[in-house]
Every structure is written in C-alpha cells, then in structure tokens.
C-alpha cells in the first residue's frame, strides 16, 4: 500500500473516531479511487455509508470488499447487516451463512471456483 493511501486511510479513520462521518466518507472514497484493490478502504467505506443511511451505496462497497477478500468474516457480517437494512432477507441469510462458515474455520468459495 502506498504512503498516500495509508495517510488518507488513517485520516479517514480519525474522522470516523470523532464522529465526523461526512469527512470520513470523502476520505474513504479517495482511498478506493487511489487503490481500487484496497480491501480495508472498501470495508470501512461500506460501514460509514451504512451509518449515514446511504444503504444502497454501502451495499456496493460491501460487495466489493467481499469480492476482494471472500474469506473475511467481518466483511460477510457487514454485508448481512446491509441486506437486513434493505429488507433483503434471503441475501442477508446467505451472507450470514458465509460468516458462519468462516467463523467455524471454513472457506468461502467464489462462484467461478465451484464445480
């Protein structure tokens, strides 16, 4: 990760800790623009968007996070929470099932790897 992304991510996290959600959102968005493969930025962006009631945008960021790291327990848990907020219970349950698999030491297989 570049120094610029790390600094921007740290600044965003500082704003988040202070409850400055709009400032954090702007900076997390900058992080994913600088490096679209930075998982932590996508995950953090999804959470701050959820906190600011931008639930559909949070869904997109959360899906990107689970795509980048399909075996991250917290990413699947967050995705489940977002689906609940969207009242999409089947997808919420599927995401929760993935988080349960991971919590038990399993792995989540991406669709293209299944046969």
Residue 109 DSSP symbol: P
**Residue 111 — very low, low, confident or very high, per pLDDT cuts 50/70/90?**
low
Over the stretch 24-43, which tens digit does the pLDDT of each residue have? 999 999 999 999 999 999 99
User: What average pLDDT does range 73-85 have in this prediction?
Assistant: 96
Give CA–CA dist 23/6, Å, rounded.
16
Per-residue confidence (pLDDT) for residue 115, from 0 to 100: 37
**Residue positions counted in the chain:** 115
Nearest Cα residue to 22 out of 44, 48, 57: 48
**pTM of the model as a whole:** 0.89
Express as a percent the part of the chain with pLDDT over 70: 94
Query: If you average pLDDT over every residue of the chain, what do you get?
Result: 93
**Residue 108 — very low, low, confident or very high, per pLDDT cuts 50/70/90?**
confident
Domain ranges of the chain: 3-110
Superfamily of structural domain 3-110:
Tetratricopeptide repeat domain (1.25.40.10)
**Residue 110 — very low, low, confident or very high, per pLDDT cuts 50/70/90?**
low
In Å, the largest CA–CA distance within the chain is 47
User: What average pLDDT does range 67-81 have in this prediction?
Assistant: 96
């Amino acid at each position: 990760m570049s120094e610029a992304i790390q600094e921007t991510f740290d600044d965003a996290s500082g704003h988040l800790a202070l409850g400055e959600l709009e400032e954090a959102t702007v900076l997390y968005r900058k992080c994913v623009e600088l490096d679209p493969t930075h998982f932590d930025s996508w995950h953090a962006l999804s959470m701050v968007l959820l906190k600011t009631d931008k639930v559909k945008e949070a869904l997109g960021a959360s899906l990107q996070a689970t795509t980048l790291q399909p075996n991250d327990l917290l990413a699947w848990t967050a995705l489940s929470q977002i689906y609940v907020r969207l009242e999409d219970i089947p997808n919420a349950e599927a995401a929760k099932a993935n988080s349960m698999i991971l919590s038990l030491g399993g792995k989540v297989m991406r669709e293209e790897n299944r046969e």
